[in-house]
Amino acid sequence: MRTGQERQQITLEAVALHAHVSRQTISNALNAPHRLAPDTLARAKRSIDTLGYRPNQAARSLRTLSSQLIGFRIEPDRDGINGAVLDRFLHALCRAAKFEDYHLLLFTASDDASEIDGYDELLRGRAVDAFVLSSTHQGDERTRWLTERSLPFVTFGRPWGETDPQHAWVDVDGAAGTEAAVEHLIRRGHRRIAFIGWPPGSGVGDDRHTGWRRAVLANGLPQQGLAVRGEDGVESGRALAAKLLDLVQPPSGLVCASDSLALGALRAVADRGLVAGRDTAVVGFDDTPVAMAVAPGLTSIRQPVEDAASAIVRLLAERLSGVRVPPAGELIVPTLIERGSS
């Protein structure tokens, strides 16, 4: 005697008996309703409802070679403060997947190599149909490995550094985000608008830098010496902002590549007896929960992860439908959430 789960499963056979039709007819009622005569369909559906039938996933999976599961690796949230975006994304992905009758299967891995082992394991056992990858980076081994085997997957993140992408991806247009931030500050009357970002080399960081640069140049604003870059983090942001604010001609607007940096910038502003939002404007990136919680409210660029998630699922569904689809990418424009800091 096992646990309660042992309860007799309601099988296709049982429903067929109840509706006085064959197994296959019930199966068709669910998978190919157009094949049935209207009254047969109605009868079948009624029996399905009254008996509360759900097809056994294992049996279906065994026969159709599809588990209706999408693999996703959650990573140990590194900095912590930015993990919130991935958290929102995970939730959105889960909801989006449900629309296509997919579920998410989670697994962990400490690095890319063991993530690949995870793929291998899951695929060999036919446990998942496809993967969603997050946090793509330059020379990503994972995408290469999956592409070589022509396995279905979509990345949340561009194929950084690849001239012509070999796979499907969805990403948020970081440059458009920082660009919007600059435009926003210009409308607020700012002229000297600086950028606080990460060291060159990271795709995401460079992208956000590009947006600032583009907007500043397009509007004929000063640019010289107004871009400072250092590692992510509150303390780092404070130091970088301090350097800017202590210039002979300090900027009045600070566009940051992350909320962590922006938090630090806010502190540097306060350190100097200035008031954020009145004397100096600060804009963050990612609209993490702290952005709302912090003192005057931090204006921040919000990634529309819900849109990204549905785009990803859509691309995935195409790729799983059977027809071979060429690699495709989608850039989603983020939105600026205005708060007290600007």
Residue 2: partners with Cβ closer than 8 Å, 6 or more residues away? none
Pair of tokens at residue 45: 């559906």
Helix axes 38-51, 12-19, angle to 10 degrees: 120
Choice between 59 and 218, CB closer to DNA = 59
Strands 299-302 and 335-337: antiparallel
Nearest-approach distance from CB 13 to DNA, in angstroms: 6
Q: Check binding of 107 to a copy of itself (CB under 8 A).
A: yes
Choice between 59 and 292, CB closer to DNA = 59
The whole-angstrom separation of Cα 71 and Cα 75 is 13
Q: Check binding of 11 to a copy of itself (CB under 8 A).
A: no
Point out which residues pair with 280 in neighbouring strands: 276
Interacting partner of 133 out of DNA, a copy of itself, none (Cβ under 5 to 8 A depending on kind): none
Pair of tokens at residue 271: 């350190």
Nearest-approach distance from CB 305 to a copy of itself, in angstroms: 12
- Put the strands of the sheet holding 281-285 in their side by side order: 227-229, 193-197, 253-256, 281-285, 299-302, 335-337
Residue 124: partners with Cβ closer than 8 Å, 6 or more residues away? none
Interacting residue with a copy of itself among 22, 24, 31, 56 (CB under 8 A): 56
Identify residues 4-23 at the interface with DNA (CB under 7 A).
Answer: 9, 11-13, 20-23
Give the torsion through C-alpha atoms of 332, 289, 234, 134, to 10 deg: -40
Identify residues 288-327 at the interface with a copy of itself (CB under 8 A).
Answer: 288-290, 292-295, 319-320, 322, 324
DSSP 280: B
Interacting residue with a copy of itself among 16, 36, 245, 263 (CB under 8 A): 263
User: Nearest-CA neighbor of 131 among 148, 115, 110?
Assistant: 115
Identify residues 61-80 at the interface with DNA (CB under 7 A).
Answer: 62-64
Interacting residue with a copy of itself among 25, 67, 258, 299 (CB under 8 A): 67
Interacting partner of 107 out of DNA, a copy of itself, none (Cβ under 5 to 8 A depending on kind): a copy of itself
Do residues 157 and 329 touch, judged by C-beta distance below 8 A? no
The whole-angstrom separation of Cα 153 and Cα 100 is 15
Q: How many residues bind DNA (CB under 7 A)?
A: 29
Give the torsion through C-alpha atoms of 87, 88, 94, 99, to 10 deg: -170
Identify residues 120-139 at the interface with a copy of itself (CB under 8 A).
Answer: 121, 123-127, 129
Identify residues 72-101 at the interface with a copy of itself (CB under 8 A).
Answer: 74, 76-77, 79-81, 83-84, 87-88, 90-91, 94-95, 98
CB atoms within 10 A of CB 257: 30
**Per-residue interface string for the shown chain with DNA, residues 20-59, x marking contact by CB under 7 A:** xxxxxx-xx-xx--xxxx-xxx-----------x-xx--x
Residues that bind a copy of itself in the complex, under the rule CB under 8 A:
1-7, 9-10, 52-59, 61-62, 65, 67, 69, 74, 76-77, 79-81, 83-84, 87-88, 90-91, 94-95, 98, 103-108, 121, 123-127, 129, 149-152, 233-234, 260, 263, 267, 288-290, 292-295, 319-320, 322, 324
